[in-house]
Amino acid sequence: MITLAFTEFGSVDILVNNAGVYGPMGPTESVSLAEWRRAVDINLYGVLIPCRALMPHFKRAGRGKIIILSGGGATNPLPNVSAYAASKAAVARLMETIAEELRPFHVDVNAIAPGALATRLMDEVLAAGPEKVGQTFYEKNKKWKSEGATPLHLGAGLAVYLASSESDGITGKLISAQWDPWAHLHQHRDELAKSDIYCVRRIVPEDRGKKFS
């Protein structure tokens, strides 16, 4: 696919990794291990492989943009959807790691949490039912399906922003299309570069005003 892109266009400037599956749904101890592994293959290796294929090109060019769809599984536990949650958390750390590797070459690598989208993934949760995905997760998806999910244009707009020159220098971040003020992040470029804002990190007691002895 990448060879075809070079043949047709001569160069590749932007890579968007927008593919993923929930994988098997149900208690972790009873779901199919083969399907669990397949979800990791799609969600994690499916990000790694095109990144690896284009990283040398981006390095030579001294520029480039990589945009990865992480989803909410990267930041919160998802009982009964463990393959998705684990693989998406891994995607977030892979994104940050590649971002550091490519920072000297002015290649920006970021992840997007687009929000709850009315896609086939939502239909799969509803089809699985509360006995497999849990009542809470099922009810959330049922509500999103009936009352409206996150508008698709938010994630698309964030992807366009991260692909643009306006966002140059913003890298290694996991950004919410629904909740973060992403249209103005370039105004905080230097502050973002020096902090772990919009990153997945371990929380220690001091972060919450507590001290454990």
Helix axis angle, 135-147 relative to 120-128, nearest 10°? 130
Find which of 13-22, 49-58, 108-117, 146-155 is predicted with most confidence, using mean pLDDT. 49-58
Output the pLDDT for position 118.
66
In 3-state terms the chain splits into helix, strand, coil percentages (rounded to 5) of 55, 10, 35
Q: Is 198 a catalytic residue?
A: no
Tens digits of residue pLDDT in 167-207: 999 999 999 999 999 999 999 999 999 999 999 999 999 99
pTM of the model: 0.90
Tens digits of residue pLDDT in 123-143: 888 888 888 888 888 888 788
Selecting among 84, 138, 161, 198, the annotated active-site residue is: 84
